[in-house]
Chain A
C-alpha cells in the first residue's frame, strides 16, 4: 500500500495505538502507524486532514499525542518507550508543528472555496443537499466537476490575483496582558510579525541585522514594545534604542513622500490658491515661526501622534499595494519626478485633463447615446458565427453578398407603399383582436389554467429540485462519453448506473408520497 517513493521523515518505534504496539512513520504528506510485525499501516492520515494535534500534560504518566481530524475523529498515540518516550513525543510534535501549517492552508483554502461556492449559490446548495446529503453521489465526485470549473477561471484570473492586505489595526490587536507580577505580556503571532515586517520594512531590516547575532528573538520584540517607536506619543529617544533609527528613517520616508508631491492636481493644496497674500497682509494671525520652543510638550506629542497616524496609514496602504503593482509603481514614480521638474509639463496634462473632465461631467443630463455594452469575448469568432456545421458542405455568403442584399432590401423599403385600399375591413380586424385577447374565443383554456397556477408551489419546488438533481446526474453521465479510459468505463458501468437508479427511486418515492397525500 505504501508506495516506496514516499519519503520517510521520522520513524518512532514502540508507539501504542489501541493497546497495540507498533511503529509511527511521519512521511512527506501523511502520518501512518503500523502494528508490530506487519508490513502495512492500519492508521494513515494525510496531513491535510488533520486539524490539530494535542499532547498530554507534562506531569502525566502516559505520554500521549492526539491527532484531531477535520471530520472530528481523533487518533491517540501512546509513546511507550520508557527511556525516550518524552523525547520521541517531542520530536514528533516538533515535526508535525512544522508540517501541519503547510498543508493546513491548502486544505483550508479548498474548504473555504467550497463553502463560499455553496453559500453564494443557493441552487448549488440545494443540489448538494439533494445529491450528497442524501448520498446519491459522494462529495468528492460532486466537487470533482465543480472545482475544476472554478480552477479554470482561477487560472485565467490568476495573474492579477489580489494579495491579502494588512489590517490597519494590527498593532492594536497586540493587546498587552498583565501577567500578575508587574509585567506585561504581548502575544505575537506569525501573522502579526508578518504584518509588522510588511508595513515597516525598517523593522524587518533591524530584525535581520540583530537577530540572532546580537539578541534573541524574544529580546528583539521586547525592545520593540518598549521603544518609543511602538508608542506613538512618546517623543524622547534614548540613544540605546535601536529603533530610533527606524523612526528617523520613517521621518525621511515621510519627507520624501511629501517632497515628491501629489500626482493628482485636484488635491494639491499647495497650488490651490492662485494668489496668496504676501506675508504681513490679511487678518489671519501670523503663525509663529519658532514653533518648537514655545509649544508645550503636550502639543508636540499631539502633533507627533497625528503625523504617525498619517504615516502608519500610508504605510499600510502601500504594503497592500506594493507587490501588486510593483512595475507600474515604478513607472508612475519616474513620471511623478518628472512632474516635479516643471519643464516637463508635457507629461502632466493627460491626468489633469481627465480629472477636469471628470469633474465637469453631468452624466444624467447627457443623452442615451453612450450606453455601454458588454463586449463578447470569443476565442474563435468564426466558430461562433458559423456554428459547428461541417465546413465543406456549407455555402457561405460573402460579405459583399450581404451588403448587396441589404442595399436591395433598403431600396425596396424605400419604394414600399402600403396599399391602403386592400386591407382587412375594420370590423374583421377588431373581431380578430377580440378573439385573441384574454377571454376571447381563441384564448380559452390557455391563459387561466397554466401549470404554475394549478400546482401548489411546494410541489413545484420539490419537483424542481428533483429535476435539477437528475439533470446534474445526467451531466455526470454524459461527461463520461466518449469512454476513453478504463476509469470512465468503471464509473459508467459501476456506480453511475446505481446513482441513476437511486435518483429514479427517489423520484418514485416522491411520486407515491404525493399520490398518497392526494388521495
Chain B
C-alpha cells in the first residue's frame, strides 16, 4: 500500500498496516526532518523493522541529497539477515509498484567467518582462527613476498578482487551474506573485502553494532561513512553495555605470561633481522621520525592492530623518540610488563583512577605518559616491519599495548581495579587487573557527533528518559508505542506467594530458603500441566539455576514435571545449549511439549525468539538483578551518580527490569502469537518495579493480577489459554485495520 506520511510518499509492502506502525513512521519522519536523534520504543512483533526501512528508503528516494545512506546496526547474525530479507521484500514491492528497476545497493557486512569462501580458511571453526589465517594470506608484506617468491601462498580471491574488483562497482541490488558469497564465487572475488569496499558507496548497510561502536573496528571499517547518514541501532536496549565492553580491558597473570613470551619472540626476531636486513629497521625508524602514516591500501588487510582509542583522540604527531627504535620499544614494553607484574603481586584489592595509575608508574619505573599513548601505534608498526604473519599469537602483547594507550588517553570515565582473588574463592590466588570503562557515552559519542540522525530503537527501552542520560545525547523525539490488539494476546501475571502463603522471591536473604525453592518448583509443575507445547523459564543467574535444579531433583519435582514435558536446560557451553535448544524446538514441534530452563542475561534470553508454540508461557523466576557485589559495578554506579545524577537503586532496578522485559518479551513475536508472562517474585508488584516495565506490558497488568498465589495463577492461566486457543478470527483485526487504513491511505 502507499501511505502519505506528512507529505512523504511511502511504499509499504503489505496490504494493511498497524496503527502503531503508522505513528512510528510519523515520529521517525519528524526525527529525520529535524536532522536529530531519536529514541523509539515499539513492541517486537509489530513490524518495527519494516516500518523503519519503508520510511527511510522512501525518505532517501525523495531527498537523495539529504540522506545519502542508511546504516542499520543490529545485534546478531540472524537478525542482520532478517533485516536484509525484509529490505528485499520492500525493494521487490517498489519494483512491482513503480515498474522501475531497483537502483539501490544494499548489503550486509559480517565478519570473515561468515563471508569467507576460501576453501581452506572458511573451514576453520572459530572466528579468530579465520581472521588469523586470512591475515596470513592477505597481509601487505605477504603479498609483497609473493611477488618475489611465487611459492608463498596467498588468497587468490583477494588477489582477484584487488586486481579488478575495485574498478567495477557491484551492481545494484540487495545482497545478504549468502548472496555476497554467491557473487564472490561467481566472480572469484573475496566477498569480505568486496563488502567492506562496497559499503562506502552502498545506499544501505546492515551490520553489527561493533562496526560502529568498537573503536578498534570502527576505525577500519566505518571510518569513511558519509556524515549525511542515518544510523539505526535496533534492539538497542543493551547498547550501553556494548559500549562499555568495547572499551574495557582485563589483564590476568596468564595474559602477562603470554605477553612475556611475545616479547621474547619479538626480541629474537629483531636481533635476527638486524643481522640479515638492518636496512628494514632503519627504514622504519625514518618513517616514524617523519610521523608518516601507513598508506591506506596497505592497512586495509591488516585489521588486527588498530588503535583502541576513538578517532578524535589519536594524536597526529610523530612517535616520541624514546620508543622509536625497535630495541628501545621492546625494552619499554618489558619495563611496563614488569611493572604490571609487580602490581598484580598484591594481597588486597586496589582501586584507582587513571591519573593515579600514571603517577604511580612514573614514580616507580619512570614511564612517561606520552610514550604510553603511542604504544598501540608503535606496536603495529613494529609487527608489520618484522613481517610477523600469525598475529593471533600476539594477542597478549596487543592487549597490553591497547591498555597502555587507553589508560594514558582517558583521564575520566575509567577506573582501575586490581583484585588478588575472586570473591567466591578467596583462597585461590587469581589476580586480575580490570581496566573498566564506566561511561558508555565515551564510545558512542563520535557516532552521535558524526552522523546527522541516530535512531535508538527496541521493543523494550523503558524508561525512555534513562537512555539519553547515560548515553549523553539530546534526542529530538522520544516515543513509546503500544500494541493495538484485536484480542489481548499477552497475559502478564505476578505471582507473589505459594499456596502456603510463603512469599516467593529471589531476594538474597531468602533465595536459599527451602519453601521458596519448593514453591518455585510447584509453580513450574502446575504450569507444565496446563500450558500446551513450550514453556521457557528464566532464572536470575546460572549458579542460582544450578542450585535450584539440584534441589528440585532431590525433591522429586523434576520427575513430576517430566511426566508432563521434557526438560532441557541451558548450560555454560554454547554448543551444548544450541543442541538443547534445537531438541527443545523439536519436542515442541512434534507435540510432546518441553520446558527450557534458561538464564536471564544469557545468550538464549538475548538472541533467541520463542514464537508461537515454542513459547506459550515464559516464567521469570526472581528479579534478574546484576551481581551487586562486584567492584566494577559499584564503581560504575558511583560514577553514574556523580556524573549523571542517577541513583544507584534506580539504575539497578532499571537494569533488572529491562532484562526481565527482554526475557518475557521473547514469547510474543506478533499479534497472531499469544503467551503467558509470569513474573514469579513478589517484588514485581511494587510500583517502582512495575513502572519500569515497557508500556505494552504494563497496560495489561491489572490490579487483579498483582499478588497471586500459585492456584490463582493456574486458574487465570487456564482461562487465558482456553480463550486464546479459539481460532483467531482474522475478521476482527481486519475490520479494525481496514477502518484505520481507509483513513490513512494515500
Binding site for B on A (CB under 8 A): 165, 167-169, 171-172, 232-233, 254, 257-259, 261-289, 294, 298-299, 301-303, 305-307, 309-310, 313-314, 316-317, 320-321, 341-343, 345, 348-349, 352, 356-357, 359-360, 362-367
A-B contacts, 29 listed (Cβ < 8 Å): A172-B560, A258-B578, A262-B578, A267-B578, A269-B603, A276-B127, A280-B251, A280-B252, A280-B395, A282-B245, A283-B245, A283-B436, A285-B630, A288-B430, A294-B428, A305-B549, A305-B550, A306-B549, A307-B571, A307-B576, A310-B568, A310-B580, A317-B586, A317-B592, A320-B592, A321-B586, A343-B123, A357-B85, A365-B16
Residues of A within 8 A of B630 (CB): 285
Interface flag for B364 (CB, 8 Å): no
8 Å CB contact of A274 from B77, B396, B585: B77
A280 & B546 in contact (Cβ 8 Å cutoff): no
B67, chain A: closest CB distance, angstroms: 24
Complex Cα distance A319/B113, Å?
36
Interface flag for B281 (CB, 8 Å): no
B305, chain A: closest CB distance, angstroms: 12
A418, chain B: closest CB distance, angstroms: 30
A362 & B47 in contact (Cβ 8 Å cutoff): yes
Given A257-B579, A267-B582, A313-B567, 10 extra CB contacts under 8 A: A165-B592, A262-B581, A266-B78, A270-B575, A280-B251, A283-B632, A313-B566, A316-B566, A360-B85, A367-B16
B395 & A274 in contact (Cβ 8 Å cutoff): no
Complex Cα distance A293/B336, Å?
32
Complex Cα distance A253/B742, Å?
59
10 closest Cβ pairs, A-B complex: A172-B559, A274-B208, A169-B562, A365-B14, A367-B15, A282-B245, A313-B566, A168-B562, A169-B563, A302-B546
A366 & B14 in contact (Cβ 8 Å cutoff): yes
B399 & A269 in contact (Cβ 8 Å cutoff): no
Interface flag for B671 (CB, 8 Å): yes
Residues of B within 8 A of A259 (CB): 575
Q: In the complex, what residue of chain A is closest to B566 when comparing beta carbons?
A: A313
Complex Cα distance A303/B545, Å?
10
Interface flag for B18 (CB, 8 Å): yes
Residues of B within 8 A of A342 (CB): 122-123
Q: In the complex, what residue of chain B is closest to A263 when comparing beta carbons?
A: B582
Residues of A within 8 A of B291 (CB): none
A356, chain B: closest CB distance, angstroms: 5
B583 & A272 in contact (Cβ 8 Å cutoff): no
A313 & B594 in contact (Cβ 8 Å cutoff): yes
B249, chain A: closest CB distance, angstroms: 6
8 Å CB contact of B217 from A275, A284, A310, A314: A275
Complex Cα distance A489/B122, Å?
80
B581 & A302 in contact (Cβ 8 Å cutoff): no
Residues of A within 8 A of B428 (CB): 294
A324, chain B: closest CB distance, angstroms: 9
Residues of B within 8 A of A254 (CB): 576
A261 & B578 in contact (Cβ 8 Å cutoff): yes
B582 & A262 in contact (Cβ 8 Å cutoff): yes
Interface flag for B317 (CB, 8 Å): no
Contact string against A for B residues 656-675, beta-carbon threshold 8 Å, 1 for contact and 0 otherwise: 00000000000000111000
Contact string against A for B residues 103-127, beta-carbon threshold 8 Å, 1 for contact and 0 otherwise: 0000000110110000100110001
Interface flag for B20 (CB, 8 Å): no
Residues of A within 8 A of B566 (CB): 168, 313, 316-317
8 Å CB contact of B82 from A294, A307, A314, A360: A360
Q: Using A303-B571, A310-B576, A313-B566 as known contacts, say yes or no to A364 and B672 having CB atoms under 8 A apart.
A: yes
Complex Cα distance A272/B630, Å?
28
List which B589-647 residues lie within 8 A (CB) of chain A: 590, 592, 594, 603-604, 607-609, 611, 630, 632
Complex Cα distance A302/B549, Å?
8
Complex Cα distance A266/B610, Å?
11
Complex Cα distance A287/B399, Å?
18
Q: Using A282-B250, A286-B250, A356-B85 as known contacts, say yes or no to A274 and B76 having CB atoms under 8 A apart.
A: yes
Q: Using A316-B566, A365-B15 as known contacts, say yes or no to A341 and B123 having CB atoms under 8 A apart.
A: yes
Q: Using A258-B576, A269-B603, A274-B207 as known contacts, say yes or no to A359 and B609 having CB atoms under 8 A apart.
A: yes
B12, chain A: closest CB distance, angstroms: 9
A364 & B563 in contact (Cβ 8 Å cutoff): no
Residues of B within 8 A of A278 (CB): 128, 395, 399
Interface flag for B311 (CB, 8 Å): no
Residues of A within 8 A of B608 (CB): 266-267, 269
B111 & A275 in contact (Cβ 8 Å cutoff): yes
Residues of A within 8 A of B285 (CB): none
B559 & A169 in contact (Cβ 8 Å cutoff): yes
Residues of A within 8 A of B587 (CB): 313, 317
Contact string against A for B residues 711-746, beta-carbon threshold 8 Å, 1 for contact and 0 otherwise: 000000000000000000010011001000000000
Interface flag for B377 (CB, 8 Å): no
Interface flag for B454 (CB, 8 Å): no
B575 & A168 in contact (Cβ 8 Å cutoff): no
Q: Using A172-B563, A258-B579 as known contacts, say yes or no to A306 and B178 having CB atoms under 8 A apart.
A: no
Complex Cα distance A368/B430, Å?
64
A343 & B122 in contact (Cβ 8 Å cutoff): yes
B81 & A268 in contact (Cβ 8 Å cutoff): no
Q: Which has the most chain B C-beta neighbours within 10 Å: A262, A275, A276?
A: A275
8 Å CB contact of B425 from A261, A272, A294: A294
A281 & B127 in contact (Cβ 8 Å cutoff): no
Complex Cα distance A274/B110, Å?
6
List which B395-412 residues lie within 8 A (CB) of chain A: 395-396, 399
Q: Which has the most chain B C-beta neighbours within 10 Å: A280, A343, A363?
A: A280
Q: In the complex, what residue of chain B is closest to A171 when comparing beta carbons?
A: B559
A207, chain B: closest CB distance, angstroms: 23
Q: In the complex, what residue of chain B is closest to A304 when comparing beta carbons?
A: B550
List which B530-567 residues lie within 8 A (CB) of chain A: 546-547, 549-550, 553-554, 556, 558-560, 562-563, 565-567
List which B229-259 residues lie within 8 A (CB) of chain A: 241, 244-246, 248-252, 254-255
Interface flag for B684 (CB, 8 Å): no
B395 & A309 in contact (Cβ 8 Å cutoff): no
List which B143-171 residues lie within 8 A (CB) of chain A: none
A506, chain B: closest CB distance, angstroms: 41
Complex Cα distance A345/B434, Å?
41
Interface flag for B80 (CB, 8 Å): yes
Contact string against A for B residues 426-443, beta-carbon threshold 8 Å, 1 for contact and 0 otherwise: 001010101011000000
B672 & A306 in contact (Cβ 8 Å cutoff): no
Residues of A within 8 A of B559 (CB): 169, 171-172
Residues of B within 8 A of A275 (CB): 111, 127, 208, 210-211, 214, 217
B82 & A359 in contact (Cβ 8 Å cutoff): yes
Q: Which has the most chain B C-beta neighbours within 10 Å: A272, A343, A352?
A: A272
Residues of A within 8 A of B560 (CB): 169, 172
Complex Cα distance A279/B578, Å?
22
Residues of A within 8 A of B573 (CB): 258
A280 & B255 in contact (Cβ 8 Å cutoff): yes
B738, chain A: closest CB distance, angstroms: 11
Residues of B within 8 A of A269 (CB): 574-575, 577-578, 581, 603-604, 607-608
Complex Cα distance A169/B670, Å?
34
Q: In the complex, what residue of chain B is closest to A307 when comparing beta carbons?
A: B571
8 Å CB contact of B550 from A283, A302, A320, A362: A302
Interface flag for B373 (CB, 8 Å): no
Q: Using A313-B587, A356-B81 as known contacts, say yes or no to A277 and B245 having CB atoms under 8 A apart.
A: yes
A360 & B576 in contact (Cβ 8 Å cutoff): no
Interface flag for B569 (CB, 8 Å): yes
B525, chain A: closest CB distance, angstroms: 12
A364 & B128 in contact (Cβ 8 Å cutoff): no
Complex Cα distance A233/B550, Å?
8
8 Å CB contact of B583 from A279, A280, A314, A367: A314
List which B44-71 residues lie within 8 A (CB) of chain A: 47, 49-50
Interface flag for B89 (CB, 8 Å): yes
B575 & A261 in contact (Cβ 8 Å cutoff): yes
8 Å CB contact of B603 from A265, A272, A316, A359: A272
